[in-house]
Structure 1
């Protein structure tokens, strides 16, 4: 389990680096568009669609890492009144539901990508499928990270929380 946690930890760090790089890159593209449009009185036609595509990547990658770290949305009121064992069961049910949602992201994102693969994005010159690949990639990570949380809980280990190393168990 520790080697799996190391792998998913490295995968999460990589996803955060890619997401952070994408955020910076998107900011540079938008700034360049503003300069070209308002200073040079011209326009870079590729910056907006490229920025939107990059934004999809950093949103879905960041959301998947948030799931691994235990930051997905939850309704915790009931958890204050139940035993630790019931909490663990409810957490696992939540993680299975999140994994199912991630599976849906992969399935339907792939279908969308396949249906738009023949389209060409005019300003970028690439397939329209690239618009939907962040959904697929994020969904794969959501499934992996949710499965890790369920397996760690089943093994009696802590789940990842921001700031704690899940490998230290």
Structure 2
């Protein structure tokens, strides 16, 4: 599953729907906001220590929480943009139906990983419902990033699988015939 060399993100088929475009924009904006927030929190810690000679008790925990969220949203963005780990060694040697089967196999493996992450993250989040960090931040806030990012990744993976299935259906359609309400017409050549 290689990214489209023409653009950063292949927006074909179901991935071109308005809802998924909006979701992609929200994810990109969220990543940017998280990066900026991490920068601000770390800078506040540095300034407070070296300029004001006061150590903040919360900045490390907040920056780690933001980093966790950025990581798991980033996983979903990686799946969306098809920049995740792939078996390119084999893909380069395959074509047609075999390439499609290899892509499907990779999607199944990725789906299994994301479902396992979502399930484990959900259980981990449940454990953190009654726990607080030393700074008083509820731990479930950090742990929620795991099932949230995994669910977003699964959504993008399902969209890619839908597109793959649609392409497979188009590739399997007879060449030279037009399907129209159950009637087959021959195209003029």
Q: TM-score, normalised by structure 1?
A: 0.86
Match of 1:127 in 2: 138
Provide the rounded CA distance (Å) in 2 between the counterparts of 1:24 and 1:129: 22
Q: Deviations over 1:21-58 (max 9, x none)?
A: 00111011001100001110001211110110001111
What is the rounded CA distance, in whole Å, between the counterparts of 1:4 and 1:126 in structure 2?
A: 38
Is 1:99 the equivalent of 2:144?
Answer: no
* Partner residue in 2 for 1:77: 89
Distance in 2 between the 1:8 and 1:93 partners? 24
C-alpha spacing 1:5/1:97, structure 2 compared with 1 (3 Å): farther
Aligned partners of 1:3, 1:20: CA distance in 2, in Å? 22
Aligned to 2:173: none
Query: Match of 1:33?
Result: 45
Which structure: greater helix fraction? 1
Which 5+ residue runs of structure 2 have no aligned equivalent? Answer: 1-12, 169-189
Partner SS for 1:122: coil
The answer to whether residue 156 in structure 2 is matched with residue 145 in structure 1 is yes
TM-score normalised to structure 2 length: 0.77
